[in-house]
Amino acid sequence: MKKNVYFVSGIDTNIGKSYATAYLARVWREKGINVITQKFIQTGNPAGYSEDIELHRRLMGLEYLPEDEQGWTKPEIFSYPASPDLASRIDNRAVDFDKINHATSVLSERFDAVLVEGAGGLMVPLTPDCLTIDYIQHSGYPLVFVTSGRLGSVNHTLLSFEAIERRGISLHTVMYNLYPEGEDKIIQEDTENYIRHYMEKHFPEAEYCHNGSFRVRFKTVGFPKRPGSCGKIISFHI
């Protein structure tokens, strides 16, 4: 497999990983990078369907791709909306990591870059003995990490950063979710400033950029035509 696969995780479920994945894919495509997204384990959907892949394509402005139809972008799907560990036990079949890795490898060969969206946060169990962070560490994928400025997120973010640093995982990009707009602006801005400060100390290679062009409302104005220079911390609306 080529070294062109990036794993997308975040501080929690419903933090905006799917929107962030689609946004980053759209930005990269506009820069001429042939990128595809993958949902490595989808839960809460019927066989053959991934709501997250459907969302990715819609926000990327694309129809379903041949790789979507062939199942390479959604290799494992479970019916119950829970952690992959619980969902797989309910469906009475184990997570097939060989199938997942093969699908990712196929996409890696066909595209310039692959964005693999995870399920939930870093510590979500995939099996009784394997957490999401274990999978990222074992795979060696650079991490795209999604956080926000809502109350309490600074604690979740710093705990995640400490785990990432301890595991020796490469932090590639931090995406800062500005949704919902009704959040306390003082807390939101202070959280971002603290995350920047922490990154400068612990992840000095991870540059950041706070650019108005990254403040995107996916549901209203779509995506910027010229995203500008992309650093390693991106602020966006969903």
State the average pLDDT over residues 220-237: 39
Task: Write the DSSP assignment of 33-72 as a string of letters.
Answer: --EEEEESEEESS-TT--HHHHHHHHHHT----HHHHTTT
Contact predicate 123/114, CB 8 Å = no
Query: 233 pLDDT band (50/70/90 cuts)?
Result: low
Q: Is 115 helix (H, G, I), strand (E, B) or coil?
A: strand
39 assigned to active site: yes
Number of domains in the chain: 1
State the average pLDDT over residues 198-209: 78
Kindly report whether the peptide bond that precedes residue 66 is cis, defined as omega within 30 degrees of 0. no
State the average pLDDT over residues 77-82: 98
Task: Report residue 73 CA to chain centroid gap.
Answer: 14
- Backbone φ and ψ of 61, nearest 5°: 75, 30
Which pLDDT does position 226 carry in this prediction?
A: 30
| Domain harbouring 17, CATH code | 3.40.50.300
pLDDT above 80 for 55? yes
pLDDT above 80 for 113? yes
Q: Which of 2, 31, 39, 219 is catalytic?
A: 39
pLDDT above 90 for 42? yes
Domain of residue 173 covers 5-236
Number of H helices, E strands in the chain: 8, 10
